[in-house]
Amino acid sequence: MAAISKELFGKLPCGCPVEAYTLTNANGMKVKIITYGGALVQLITPDRDGRMADVINGYDCLDDYRAADGYQGALIGRWGNRIGGAKFTLEGVEYKVGMNDNGANSLHGGCHGFNEKLWQAEIVDGALALTATSPDGEEGFPGNLTVKVTYTLTDSNELVIDYDAVTDKKTVINLTNHTYFNLGGYASGSILGHELRLDADSYLETDEQLIPTGRLVPVEGTPFDFRTAKPVGRDIEADDRDLKIGGGYDHCFNFVGGKQDKPVLRGELYDPRTGRAMQVWTDQPCVQLYTGNMMNGPVRFKGGYPQTPHNALCLETQAMPDSMNHPGFTDATLAPGQRYTTRTIYAFSVR
């Protein structure tokens, strides 16, 4: 069971305090989470020689988190990823949601998503439980949604993220976490030399605005085949339509067999330089791989480290983006009386 300490991270313009909770396990691994956006702001873990380093991007202060783009480390909702046209129809009613992407679409919950919420924190059985409510009509989504996200750090160096939600009106939901990982340490340079394996046999083709076309493309024979581990950068500049649109990988990969009843091993990221490895266990049907293609903002990371493309990558476990607008995609609706539950585990080790 992790030890948990609390400190003040800053205050919002309303004067509301933002707290930081640090979870430390028996091995000295540390994870720091703030109540603003429920964001992971620090994850310190050893390399093969026992040297500790912070392997996630983030900022030094609350003002930087509020000013910067990129959803660094944040909880994402109500809808992770994109909704084409910033609208969908549910039970015959059209809902228009926050339009904040390319002037036409909705991204990561709209103009003011869960990444901007001040979450309420409680320490429960050695874990950090964060709760928030999203009222009916917030960002255009139907239903009063109550959400609980629990972060647990085990003595096996696993960061466990449990998502739980209920609604009083049928709605759509797709929660995820937007942490950017660099297993060499966030200030160590590019992740293109990291090796990645994903248990995905297809990916979603997108249009020029990164909205799914509805077509599932088999990874066989494409630069999107990570079924056998390979360097992230090996094929990133291939002459491929989808890669050129994204400026690299910014695509939803569909796991073999889809959604599972419990978390299963779906992928692994490995940094040959330091020996750090990170397994991804999840019950979700998909993962969005984003290789930080547009990471070039003016707000500097912790310690003044500059933002540069491909400095880190995201592995956002989720349902298919824009699924409410594509018959045959994953069902991501939630009705009264149902409970949305999902678990993702990032398990750290060394080789």
Rounded Cα distance between 262 and 268, Å, is 18
Q: How many other C-beta atoms lie within 10 A of the C-beta of residue 116?
A: 15
Cα 105 to Cα 205: distance, rounded to the nearest angstrom: 17
Burial of 243 (0-12, 13-18, 19+ CB in 10 A): buried
Q: Record the pTM.
A: 0.98
Q: What is the mean pLDDT of the chain?
A: 97
Q: What is the pLDDT of residues 95-135, one digit of tens each?
A: 999 999 999 999 999 999 999 999 999 999 999 999 999 99
Q: Express each pLDDT in 300-348 by its tens digit.
A: 999 999 999 999 999 999 999 999 999 999 999 999 999 999 999 999 9
Annotated catalytic residue 205: no
Catalytic residue among 108, 178, 194, 310: 178
The domains of the chain, with CATH numbers, are: 3-350 (2.70.98.10)
Can you spell out the DSSP letters for 25-79?
Answer: -TTS-EEEEESBTT-EEEEEEE-TTS-EEE-B---SSHHHHHH--S-TT-EE-SB
> Which neighbouring-strand residues pair with 167?
145
Position 172 confidence tier, pLDDT thresholds 50, 70, 90: very high
**Per-residue pLDDT tens digits for 216-250:** 999 999 999 999 999 999 999 999 999 999 999 99
Say what the pLDDT of residue 254 is: 98
For residue 304, the 8-state DSSP code is G
Q: What contacts 179, CB < 8 A, 6 or more positions away?
A: 40, 43, 56, 57, 72, 73, 314
| Residue 1 confidence class, pLDDT cut points 50, 70, 90 | confident
The string of pLDDT tens digits covering residues 77-100 is 999 999 999 999 999 999 999 999
Verify whether residue 178 is a known catalytic residue. yes
Residue with the two structure tokens 């020996």:
275
Find all residues with CB under 8 Å of 115, minimum gap 6, and list them. Answer: 37, 39, 71, 74, 75, 76, 108, 109, 178
Provide mean pLDDT across the span 49-70: 96
Say what the pLDDT of residue 143 is.
98
Contact assessment for residue 7 and residue 15, using Cβ atoms and an 8 Å cutoff: no
d(CA 185, CA 276): 10
Distances (CA, A) of 122 to 26, 269, 311: 21, 31, 33
Q: With 90 as the cut, is the pLDDT of residue 177 above it?
A: yes
Catalytic position from the list 138, 139, 268, 316? 316
Q: What is the pLDDT of residue 69?
A: 87
pLDDT at 43 over 90: yes
